[in-house]
């Protein structure tokens, strides 16, 4: 902006500093017009650049849309084939599951029949075992009774023999000392034989009744 003169102007109709002020305003107006022109040119350049960018963007979007349509066209047949394959796999899987279910039901039925047969067989074996044990118990009772009767008879026989022996010993106490020893040895041998027979009978009973 030019300098404002400080010297007073010639007297006239307007104030002294009016012309300088008008000149300043005209200068400001010219600068403002130039700035506006530069701004308009910059805005126009930016508008053109934005239009070019928009055009390139729209062309890129259109190209991508066409590419996506082509991809979709190529992808849809593959999806359809995969869908049909999945449907086939699902059908085969369901048929396999149904076959396995039927096989499992058959196995369960056979297993239950086998368990029932084993239960009946176990019941039969238990009954036969109980009957066998009862028969063995009765047999052992009978053997014990017979053994006791035999032992009682042998005890009575031994008492009779002992009485006879005592009578003979009383009669021949002095005269037959050698015979007495011989008879005592015979009695001891007979008693030992009896004890051996008794032990053998006990061993047979223990083996037969599974006592040992």
Share of the chain above pLDDT 90, in %: 0
Nearest to 202 by CA among 156, 143, 119, 160: 143
pLDDT at 138: 85
| 2 pLDDT tier (thresholds 50, 70, 90) | very low
Out of 20-24, 36-40, 57-61, pick the least confident. 20-24
**Rounded Cα gap, residues 120 and 114, in angstroms:** 10
Share of the chain above pLDDT 70, in %: 83
pLDDT at 32: 87
Summary mean pLDDT of the chain: 80
Give the mean pLDDT of 196-205: 78
pLDDT at 25: 84
pLDDT in tens, 33-54: 888 888 888 888 888 888 989 8
Which pTM value belongs to this model?
Answer: 0.29
pLDDT at 179: 67
How far from 34 is each of 40, 43, 160, 174, CA to CA, in Å?
A: 10, 14, 169, 182
pLDDT in tens, 121-175: 888 888 888 888 888 888 878 888 888 888 888 888 888 888 887 777 676 665 6
The two three-digit tokens of residue 59, written as one number: 């062309």
pLDDT at 166: 79
The two three-digit tokens of residue 171, written as one number: 């009669």
pLDDT at 16: 64
**Rounded Cα gap, residues 168 and 171, in angstroms:** 5
pLDDT at 204: 75
Give the mean pLDDT of 16-23: 76
**Looking at the predicted structure, is the pLDDT value of residue 14 above 60?**
no
SS3 content of the chain, % helix, strand, coil (to 5): 90, 0, 10
pLDDT at 6: 45
């Amino acid at each position: 902006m030019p300098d404002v003169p400080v010297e007073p102007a010639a007297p006239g109709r307007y104030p002294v500093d009016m012309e300088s002020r008008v000149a300043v305003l005209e200068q400001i107006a010219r600068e403002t017009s130039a700035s506006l022109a530069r701004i308009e040119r910059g805005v126009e350049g930016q508008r053109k650049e934005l239009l070019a960018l928009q055009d390139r963007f729209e062309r890129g979007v259109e190209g991508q849309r066409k590419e996506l349509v082509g991809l979709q066209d190529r992808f849809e047949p593959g999806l359809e084939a995969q869908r049909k394959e999945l449907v086939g796999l699902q059908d085969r899987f369901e048929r396999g599951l149904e076959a396995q279910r039927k096989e499992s039901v058959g196995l369960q039925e056979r297993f239950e029949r086998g368990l029932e047969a084993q239960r009946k067989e176990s019941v039969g074996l238990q009954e036969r075992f109980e009957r066998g044990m009862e028969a063995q118990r009765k047999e052992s009772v009978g053997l014990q009774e017979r053994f006791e009767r035999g032992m009682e008879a042998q005890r009575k026989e031994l008492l009779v023999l002992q009485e006879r022996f005592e009578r003979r010993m009383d009669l021949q106490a002095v005269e037959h000392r050698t015979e007495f020893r011989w008879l005592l040895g015979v009695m001891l041998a007979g008693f030992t034989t009896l004890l051996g027979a008794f032990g053998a009978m006990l061993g047979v009973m223990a083996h037969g009744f599974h006592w040992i």
